Amino acid sequence: MSRTAKIAGVAALAGLMMTVAIVAAVQPDEPAPAPPLLLPVDEGQARVARELDRCATLTMPDSGCEAAWAANRRRFFRQEESAPETERGSDMAPDEGATP
């Protein structure tokens, strides 16, 4: 590599560094984003959390644990508290009972 090419490379690198420094100095400082707000845990969520902690130590199925896991899933997926009735009418055919 020739001496002229080396000088041109160093000059290009220095120019790039100066450009970055000028852009950083000209841009206004933005305040740091606010930390996310922690919402207070209501008593129902705290009770479910305690129940899930208890269930983590069990090795046998427990109906209380199943209910706690279901409540946790509903909360996680933001589903409404009452589950829709999907079982009702599932054993009936669509046209059964309809009068022409």
Q: What percent of the chain has pLDDT over 70?
A: 74
**Mean pLDDT score across all residues of the chain:** 78
Residue 99: pLDDT band with limits 50, 70, 90: low
Residue 82: pLDDT band with limits 50, 70, 90: low
Comparing CA positions, the residue from 4, 69, 72, 63 lying closest to residue 41 is: 72
Q: HSE of 33 in the Cβ direction (CA atoms, 13 Å)?
A: 3
Q: What helix, strand, coil percent values describe the chain, rounded to 5?
A: 50, 0, 50
pTM: 0.37
- How does pLDDT run across 17-33, given as a tens digit for each residue? 999 999 988 887 778 78
